Structure 1
Amino acid sequence: MSDEESTRRPRRRARQSYKNEELKRDRWILSYADFITLLFAFFVALYSLSLKEAGDEKVLAETLNGVFDAVQKSIKPINIGEPTAGQPDSERLLEVAPDEPTEFENPPGEVEGRSPLFEVLNQSITSQFPTLERDGQLTITEDAEWVTLDMKAALVFGQGDYELTNEAVALMIVIANILRSYPAPIMVLGNTDDMPINSNRMPSNWHLSSMRAAAVAEELVYRGIDPKLLAPIGFSSENPQVRNTNDYARAQNRRVTLKISKRMADNLYDYLFQ
């Protein structure tokens, strides 16, 4: 064996030993990942116990399933940091859904005072998303015929997008849990501002407003709302709340609205056209 060959082998062993040491040093990552998983399970267990004490076992199962499914369905992360105008506050979290569905007894036609549907929607959303109305991201109103839930587009979608945000999916879970016990016609209205759209996927604001309305309607159907009672409609920029004079005004006009009838009906088509 030559001197050159005898000097090569130790070098190879040294390199191999160095690589093994590097792999051993990185093994802490596995332990750390296990620790984080166990910590998450611990907090879920604490949350489960708190709900169980309140007698909300069914609510617990529905809420956790809905939130985990919402994370899987949404491709947009929740924003973190201080909220800005036209953007949702990431720290608003879903707590619990309503306990057992409440059977509403609204008679057809006009309802004097606040309708039960308005009261339940307003109370549930205020308790579970306490800053939405305060920040102007969501408003709930009613008249003689409709309960109207108006959501700013920045709460429900990313800019120029029609995929629901995580917070929007959590909000739809709460709304659908209430509306399942109130089989009334629902119109989902999509609205944009008057700025021309700049996207390869969306040729116009007509397409964007329609796709956004359809996305909300599809989520409600997925959560158990009868599709016969739903109609997504896109209005583009033709139904503004305020004049499109500046960025703030345009942000008010970018919205999705749920109009829920106070009259019961088997399907929306008969309600509108017969």
Structure 2
Amino acid sequence: MSNAPKRKLKGRRVVAKVTSSQGDNRDRWILSYADFITLLFAFFVALYALSSKNTGDEPRLKETLHGVFEAVQKSVKPINIGEPIIGEPKDIEVVETKPIPPVIPTIEESHSSAVYSLLSQVVENQFSGLHADGQISVSESAYWVSLELNSGLVFGQGEYDLTNEAVALLILVANILKEYPTVVLVEGNTDDTPVSSRNLVSNWHLSSLRSASVVDELIYQGVKSEMIAPVGFSSENPKIDNNNEEARQQNRRVVIQISKHDADNVHDYLFK
């Protein structure tokens, strides 16, 4: 009888010990789950920060994430955009701005300005009367300096041989073009009146022959042949509608177009 109670007590100790061990280990998964949720939250915060970060925030973002994943407590500081201004306005150094120097014209701009100026002087000094009557004019656009000649000044009625006055003018023009070589297009224009000469087929023929006559004279006076070309427009490029004789007279003209841009030859300038 003395041995029975001892066996019961021993058995109770074993059962109590097993029960106590199961109670201690039953809730250990909660700690791992909490760690997992914390890391997952930090991961999504990092994704959000990456999607909305500003330029220059990478160092601060790495520092913050490092503290989260390494479990190091850090103070979260706001991310500044731009450089902060420290001190009172009197402490800020005032930098004096230097005046912007005037833009130096390029070679092409200087070149075209000289051509325009010289042509204007020739027209105003040597042909002031024709300029006043609208027979000759000088103008410029973004790409060209233009010398416009009324066909009555350059040719006879329905003809394509140059007048003596036209030759005198073209000699002066050639001297300028030799000094400032550039691409030149000579445009021939007529009105819409059909030609009546046996030697001419159409206004296309007449406008082309007139522009070619001007080109021939300029080349004869020393302008390089590879830098100049004739173009005939017939009546397809009128200044105004051909409604009356005065309008038709204005549309009959030759225009010497002088390019503002450098090129080796007229073909490359037009087609390359």
Question: Shorter-chain-normalised TM-score: which range?
Answer: 0.5 to 0.7
Q: Which runs of 4+ in 1 moved over 4 A?
A: none
Whole-Å Cα distance in 1 between the matches of residues 240 and 143 of structure 2? Answer: 23
Partner amino acid for 1:218? D
Q: Where does residue 166 of structure 2 map in the other structure?
A: 168
- Distance verdict in 2 for CA 1:231–1:168, change over 3 Å: same
Q: What SS does the corresponding residue of 1:213 show, helix, strand or coil?
A: helix
Whole-Å Cα distance in 2 between the matches of residues 124 and 152 of structure 1? Answer: 16
Q: Is the aligned partner of 1:107 residue 2:96? A: no
Q: Where does residue 265 of structure 2 map in the other structure?
A: 267
1:257 CA drift (Å): 0.4
Q: What SS does the corresponding residue of 1:190 show, helix, strand or coil?
A: strand
Q: Where does residue 6 of structure 2 map in the other structure?
A: none
Q: What SS does the corresponding residue of 1:251 show, helix, strand or coil?
A: helix
1:144 CA drift (Å): 1.5
1:197 CA drift (Å): 0.7
CA contact (8 A) 2:147 2:257 kept: yes
Partner amino acid for 1:222? Y
Q: How does 1:35-184 map to 2 (within 5 A)?
A: 107-108=107-108, 111=109, 115-184=113-182
- Distance verdict in 2 for CA 1:159–1:148, change over 3 Å: same
CA contact (8 A) 2:174 2:218 kept: yes
Q: Is the aligned partner of 1:253 residue 2:261? A: no
Q: Is the aligned partner of 1:221 residue 2:227? A: no
- Distance verdict in 2 for CA 1:157–1:183, change over 3 Å: same
Partner amino acid for 2:236? E
* Structure with the greater alpha carbon radius of gyration: 2
- Distance verdict in 2 for CA 1:182–1:218, change over 3 Å: same
Question: How many residues of Structure 1 are paired with residues of Structure 2 in the alignment?
Answer: 167
Partner amino acid for 2:219? V
**Structure 2 unpaired stretches of 5+:** 1-104
CA contact (8 A) 2:148 2:254 kept: yes
Whole-Å Cα distance in 1 between the matches of residues 220 and 172 of structure 2? Answer: 13
CA contact (8 A) 2:123 2:137 kept: no
Q: What SS does the corresponding residue of 1:256 show, helix, strand or coil?
A: strand
1:133 CA drift (Å): 1.1
- 1:182-217 Cα shifts (integer Å, max 9, x gaps): 110000000000011101000100000000000000
1:263 CA drift (Å): 1.4
TM-score, with normalisation over the residues of structure 1? 0.59
Q: Where does residue 189 of structure 2 map in the other structure?
A: 191
Q: What SS does the corresponding residue of 2:147 show, helix, strand or coil?
A: strand
- 1:229-250 Cα shifts (integer Å, max 9, x gaps): 1110100000000000000000
1:106 CA drift (Å): 5.4
Identity %: 51
TM-score, with normalisation over the residues of structure 2? 0.60
Q: Where does residue 208 of structure 2 map in the other structure?
A: 210
CA contact (8 A) 1:147 1:260 kept: yes
Whole-Å Cα distance in 1 between the matches of residues 147 and 106 of structure 2? Answer: 18
Whole-Å Cα distance in 1 between the matches of residues 180 and 114 of structure 2? Answer: 10
Whole-Å Cα distance in 2 between the matches of residues 216 and 126 of structure 1? Answer: 21
**Structure 1 unpaired stretches of 5+:** 1-104
Q: What SS does the corresponding residue of 1:158 show, helix, strand or coil?
A: coil
CA contact (8 A) 1:106 1:262 kept: no
Q: What SS does the corresponding residue of 1:180 show, helix, strand or coil?
A: helix
By relative contact order (CA 8 Å, sep 6+), the higher-ranking structure is 1
Whole-Å Cα distance in 1 between the matches of residues 179 and 264 of structure 2? Answer: 13
